[in-house]
Amino acid sequence: MSMQGHVTPQKMHFSEALKLRSGATLRDYTLVYETYGRLNAERSNAVLVCHALNASHHVAGTHADNPKNVGWWDNLIGPGKPLDTDRFFVICINNPGSCFGSTGPMHVNPDTGRLYGSDFPVVTVEDWVNAQARVLDRLGIHQLAAVMGGSLGGMQALSWTLQYPERMRHALVIASAPSLSAQNIAFNEVARRAIVTDPDFHGGHFYAHGVVPKRGLRVARMIGHITYLSDDSMEAKFGRELRSAELAYSTQEIEFQIESYLRYQGDKFSEYFDANTYLLITRALDYFDPAREFGGDLSRALSRAQAKFLVVSFTTDWRFSPARSREIVKGLLDNRIDVSYAEIDAPHGHDAFLLDDARYHGVVRACYDNIAREIGA
């Protein structure tokens, strides 16, 4: 049970077009967001949390109509928690292109009158940050106490420090990377091919056919899950455990518990996640590469940053390995930017950033304690 209590999603509509990196524009869009805690009189205690691939604005607390729907980072954010909502005003915004309420492929394209589907414009991490900045403008928040995110959310936090260097005091970049590796892109591409080649995808306009490319979504999610867990944690959790005492000697029946787990995860995901959103978000991951416009020189790319950084990585995370976080740290140090780095010895792979680990949460708590002192919260 969460101590946060109930939270109500809010909506903000924008009729001013959002110019995207691709050159396309998104006009007449709505963003869904949630807030926790209270904005102080000085408007200095706001923390923006950025969500990752399959998460939403619902980062903490529960919804009144569904007390079991606990926010995805509820173990970290709430009254008395490392990011203490008794002291900070926390905002989490569902990104455009998502399938959790903000304008996305499942909504009507005002230019055509039909659902966007695969016509939804490609959105980048930079575009999301710009969209989020507009929400903060409306809320009257000029400077954030901190921006924080894990994984793809960490990329957004990093991008914030480069796009709006003066708009935050601190940035917490957790289990993230300055860009995807070739292997990361490769896994994304396989997932996308599984979705796009599913006959039920219908070129991305499957809504009109009353079907969902579930086969593709299942495979995509199964691949994702393998990369979220460490080899060791998968071994510890499942190993070669069989579902039945006797082998069935079958190529299609489930023999091993790991197969059962993956199929379950794939089935569940295919019930609620939008295929076009999956394509968009994996592409946003692929494209993120702030060093690109500096000829690959990350140090030069990071020279714009003014925030103080906390970078956290997890030893068994092979999706976004500690080496990738260290690239960020080096780039910041090259610019004499204030950065703390914690490499947490955790067995859970990439998933560790979502789990309750005492050392990890201790580091985040200490960071927010310092920020609270700075701003007098």
Residue whose pair of structure tokens reads 């969500």 in the numeric block: 51
Q: Are strands 339-344 and 308-314 parallel, antiparallel or unpaired?
A: parallel
Measured from the CB atom, is 93 or 258 closer to a second copy? 258
Residue 259 within binding range of a second copy, rule CB under 8 A: yes
350 labelled catalytic? yes
| Residue type (1 letter), 202 | H
**Number of residues lying near a second copy (CB under 8 A):** 61
Which of 118, 143, 303, 335 is the binder for a second copy (CB under 8 A)?
Answer: 118
Residue 226 within binding range of a second copy, rule CB under 8 A: yes
Which of 26, 158, 258, 332 is the binder for a second copy (CB under 8 A)?
Answer: 258
| Residue type (1 letter), 84 | D
d(CA 39, CA 44): 8
> Residue 155: which H helix or E strand, with range?
helix 152-163
Which of 179, 313, 316, 325 is the binder for a second copy (CB under 8 A)?
Answer: 179
221 is in an annotated binding site: yes
Kindly state the tokens that stand for 190: 């396989």
Question: Do residues 157 and 50 make contact, with C-beta atoms less than 8 angstroms apart?
Answer: yes
d(CA 73, CA 83): 10
118 labelled catalytic? no
> Residue 89: which H helix or E strand, with range?
strand 89-93
Q: What are the helix (H) ranges across 33-107?
A: none
Which of 3, 108, 186, 208 is the binder for a second copy (CB under 8 A)?
Answer: 186
Question: Do residues 40 and 89 make contact, with C-beta atoms less than 8 angstroms apart?
Answer: yes
Measured from the CB atom, is 31 or 280 closer to a second copy? 280
In the range 33-62, which residues lie near a second copy by CB under 8 A?
Answer: none
243 is in an annotated binding site: no
51 labelled catalytic? no
Residue 177 within binding range of a second copy, rule CB under 8 A: no
Residue 12 within binding range of a second copy, rule CB under 8 A: no
Which of 63, 143, 163, 289 is the binder for a second copy (CB under 8 A)?
Answer: 289
| Residue burial 92-130, b: 16+ Cβ < 10 Å; e: rest | bbbbbbbbbbbbbbbbebeeeeebbbbbbbbbbbbbbbb
Give residues in contact with a second copy (CB under 8 A).
Answer: 21-24, 118, 121-122, 179-183, 185-187, 189-190, 192-194, 196-199, 215, 218-219, 222-223, 225-226, 229, 231, 234-235, 237-240, 247, 249-252, 255-256, 258-259, 262-263, 266, 276, 279-280, 282-283, 286-287, 289, 292, 318
Query: Which residues are known catalytic residues?
Result: 151, 317, 350
